[in-house]
């Protein structure tokens, strides 16, 4: 039996099978290792394990009772299912084996702040994270998704974690689903219908109270973003101005998506389903609304290819979709009301342009040089309009007609 000892743990490689033929020997060898290395915890590497019988399960149960805990890593799908059916998932700390898949021939559906989405086949899609995302971060997102789903938010639940191109990803079952971006690109006649559905979905997010869930606070993210820009991109005075303006945004206990656009929402059987929940948090709806304005108006008019590619739509489609989205979200089709709304969004977009640059920093969307150029154009106007921006923030809920919480 192969094993190694590191950091107070005995890591044992299990054989291909643990059944009635070898279970007794496996038990004796494990028991000997534990006694010989008193005080160390036993951990089982199931990389080679393809099958475990009831006799093997009794060995696991005995170790668990002796140690009070037991971790198994690299558990294959087949063995995992056995452990699940027999209730061992409730007893042991199980880490599944991450299978490697190829993306050769797979369609790239969309790109976002945290990675890309690929169509694997007619039934499944893959969300592939950037290199900086580890398994714990991905597990955390899955917990967030489950919390949102149980609170009535339509989002896809992943059923497998994989690796591709040396990066982690999660697999969703979305049969015959396409992104909203692809749907309106294929058939522009769907813009009014899907635009309004996007507005209804965003309103649902912003009227969902998830204050009881262990989600991050948007205010904490904001402070981290500003900190990350200070010195290299922002002077101390400009960073303090940003913090002061951020403090004027009213705190609310509602769900903020953080990256709401047509590339992150799928259409399946006329229902919209969110597939990217990495950035969800508790905060003011203004963060989503400002992001939406920047991507669908500012980026569209400037024709930022990287932003439009992430959404999967053309510039003119982005502008048209936004019109119907905001009509549904605000509950009005009066042009004067919508124009007044966008005038205020144009003003506060100066603050959010700087803020969201920190979020995008390090991605392909903006290079360091691009950030410097954009800040050079934005900061002078931000300083000039700071008092007006602060006033808009202080009246946000009533001024914009946001859903009342």
382 pLDDT tier (thresholds 50, 70, 90):
very high
Distances (CA, A) of 213 to 224, 225, 232, 251: 21, 23, 35, 16
CB-side exposure of 362: number of CA atoms within 13 Å? 11
Name the burial class of residue 33, with classes exposed (0-12), middle (13-18) and buried (19+) by CB atoms within 10 angstroms of its CB: middle
Q: Residue 361 — very low, low, confident or very high, per pLDDT cuts 50/70/90? A: low
Tokens read off for 276: 């990217």
Identify the pLDDT of residue 294: 92
Contact 332, 282 (CB under 8 A): no
State in words which class domain 178-400 has: mainly alpha
What whole-number distance in Å separates Cα of residue 308 and Cα of residue 299?
7
Q: Which residue has the higher pLDDT, 187 or 232?
A: 187
Q: Where are the domains of the chain?
A: 3-97, 107-173, 178-400
Summarised one tens digit per residue, pLDDT across range 265-275 is 999 988 999 98
Q: Which of 46, 110, 50 is nearest to 274 (CA)?
A: 110
Q: Which residues make Cβ contacts (< 8 Å) with residue 183, sequence separation at least 6?
A: 190, 194, 267
> What pLDDT score does 401 carry?
52
Q: Looking at the domain that runs over 3-97, which CATH code has it been given? A: 3.30.750.24
Residue 307: what pLDDT? 67
Paired residues of 183 in beta bridges: none
pLDDT digits 0-9 by tens, 236-251: 999 999 999 999 999 8
CATH for 107-173 (3.30.70.1530, 3.30.470.10, 1.10.1060.10, 3.30.200.20): 3.30.200.20
- 276: nearest Cα among 290, 286, 291: 291
Please compute Rg for the chain using Cα positions.
Answer: 25
């Amino acid at each position: 039996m192969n094993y190694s000892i590191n950091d107070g743990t005995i890591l044992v490689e299990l054989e291909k099978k643990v059944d009635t033929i070898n279970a007794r020997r496996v038990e004796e060898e494990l028991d000997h290792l534990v006694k010989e290395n008193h005080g160390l915890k036993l951990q089982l590497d199931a990389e080679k394990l393809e099958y475990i019988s009831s006799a093997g399960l009794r060995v696991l149960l005995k170790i668990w009772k002796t140690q009070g805990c037991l971790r198994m890593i690299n558990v294959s799908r087949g063995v995992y299912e056995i452990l699940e059916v027999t209730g061992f998932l409730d007893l042991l700390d199980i880490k599944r084996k991450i299978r490697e898949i190829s993306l050769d021939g797979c369609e790239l559906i969309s790109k976002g702040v945290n990675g890309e989405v690929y169509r694997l086949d007619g039934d499944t899609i893959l969300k592939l994270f950037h290199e900086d995302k580890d398994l714990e971060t991905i597990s955390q997102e899955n917990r967030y998704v489950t919390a949102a789903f149980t609170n009535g938010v339509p989002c896809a639940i992943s059923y497998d974690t994989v690796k591709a191109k040396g990066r982690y990803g999660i697999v969703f079952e979305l049969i015959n689903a396409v992104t909203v971006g692809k749907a309106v690109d294929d058939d522009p006649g769907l813009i009014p219908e899907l635009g309004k559905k996007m507005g209804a979905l965003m309103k649902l997010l912003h009227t969902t109270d998830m204050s009881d869930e262990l989600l991050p606070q948007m205010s904490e993210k904001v402070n981290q973003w500003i900190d990350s820009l200070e010195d290299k991109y922002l002077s101390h005075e400009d960073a303090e101005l940003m913090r002061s303006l951020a403090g004027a945004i009213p705190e609310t206990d509602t769900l903020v998506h953080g990256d709401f656009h047509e590339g992150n929402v799928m259409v399946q059987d006329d229902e919209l389903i969110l597939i990217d929940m990495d950035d969800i948090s508790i905060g003011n709806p203004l963060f989503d609304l400002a992001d939406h304005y920047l991507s669908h108006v500012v980026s569209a008019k400037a024709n930022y290819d990287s932003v439009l590619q992430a959404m999967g739509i053309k510039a003119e489609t982005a502008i048209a979709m936004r019109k119907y989205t905001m009509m549904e979200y605000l509950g009005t089709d009066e042009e004067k009301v919508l124009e007044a709304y966008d005038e205020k969004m144009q003003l506060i977009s100066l603050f959010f342009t700087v803020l969201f640059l920190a979020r995008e920093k390090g991605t392909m969307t903006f290079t360091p040089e691009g950030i410097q150029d954009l800040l050079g154009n934005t900061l002078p106007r931000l300083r000039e309009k700071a008092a007006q921006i602060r006033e808009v923030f202080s009246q946000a809920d009533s001024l914009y007609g946001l859903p009342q919480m």
